[in-house]
Amino acid sequence: MRHKPESSSNSKDQLVTLRCNRCGTPITPEEAIQTPTGYRCKDCVHQQQKVFDTSKPLDFILGFLVAALLSLLGSYLSSLIGFFTFLLAPAAGVGIAEAVRAVTKKRRSKRLFRLVSIGMVLGGLPLMIISLLNLLLRLQFGTFSFFSLLPLGYQILYLAMAVPSAYYRLTGNRRL
Ligand SMILES: [Zn+2]
């Protein structure tokens, strides 16, 4: 689709080979940004990102705290339920994601979701450190057995399964 020439000079037309598929602005291949729906100009991509990023500063604090505290609880439970961590850790991740969504009123941003993941990992660390110290003491005093490894193993397993599960629940299939 071409506009009626407004002036005799068409030198820009030779540079412009693409149009933004949202606003129709002519863009050079260098300026064009490829999106899943086609080429767009910088302004449109920037606007689109603002629509996705609805988070408020308080969301970061609340989201982080909720994720860290619930993750601490999850890591404690995983050493109690042992083998069942395999089955329940993904559900725990979904539960944490839902709790975060509730306190942040479902507002979203990539940075928020990353921070929630970090919160979950940090929340799982204290008990992992305690388990590790316990393990080292057992090694030191010669009371180590295979079973001494289990609490730490289940806590690592919990984090490895719950964190991705929560992240996918938060981000969904939508590309941020
Ligand atoms: Zn545009």
Beta strands in the chain (DSSP E): 18-19, 26-27, 33-35, 38-40
The CA 5 to ligand 1 mean position distance, Å, reads: 21
Kindly state whether residue 61 falls inside one of the protein's structural domains.
yes
Q: 62: which 2 tokens? A: 């609340």
Percentage of residues in the chain having pLDDT higher than 70: 89
The CA 6 to ligand 1 mean position distance, Å, reads: 21
Residue 40 and residue 116 in one domain:
no
Residue 89 and residue 162 in one domain:
yes
The CA 43 to ligand 1 mean position distance, Å, reads: 6
| Phi, then psi, of 35 in degrees rounded to 5 | -120, 170
Kindly state whether residue 140 falls inside one of the protein's structural domains.
yes
Give 97 or 108, the one with higher predicted confidence.
97
Residue 101 and residue 162 in one domain:
yes
The CA 156 to ligand 1 mean position distance, Å, reads: 46
Residue 45 and residue 64 in one domain:
no
Residue 24 and residue 72 in one domain:
no
Residue 150 and residue 71 in one domain:
yes
Quick check: 27 and 78 in contact, CB under 8 A? no
Percentage of residues in the chain having pLDDT higher than 90: 62
The CA 108 to ligand 1 mean position distance, Å, reads: 23
Q: What residues make up the domain containing 29?
A: 11-50
Kindly state whether residue 1 falls inside one of the protein's structural domains.
no
Q: 47: which 2 tokens? A: 């606007």
Residue 79 and residue 44 in one domain:
no
The CA 33 to ligand 1 mean position distance, Å, reads: 10
In the three-class reduction of DSSP (H, G, I as helix; E, B as strand; rest coil), residue 109 is classed as: coil
Mean pLDDT, the chain, whole residue set: 88
53 vs 112: CA distance, rounded Å? 9
Kindly state whether residue 2 falls inside one of the protein's structural domains.
no
Lowest-confidence region among 13-17, 31-35, 50-54, 157-161? 13-17
Residue 39 and residue 68 in one domain:
no
Residue 46 and residue 68 in one domain:
no
Residue 98 and residue 136 in one domain:
yes
Kindly state whether residue 4 falls inside one of the protein's structural domains.
no
Kindly state whether residue 95 falls inside one of the protein's structural domains.
yes
**Residue 35 confidence (pLDDT):** 85
Q: What is the mean pLDDT of residues 113-127?
A: 97
Residue 173: pLDDT above 70?
Answer: no
The CA 20 to ligand 1 mean position distance, Å, reads: 5
Residue 45 and residue 62 in one domain:
no
Residue 17 and residue 79 in one domain:
no
87, burial (CB in 10 Å: exposed 0-12, middle 13-18, buried 19+): exposed
175 vs 48: CA distance, rounded Å? 11
The CA 8 to ligand 1 mean position distance, Å, reads: 26
Report how many domains make up the chain.
2
Report the candidate in 126, 112, 119 with the shortest Cα–Cα distance to residue 176.
112
18 vs 12: CA distance, rounded Å? 12
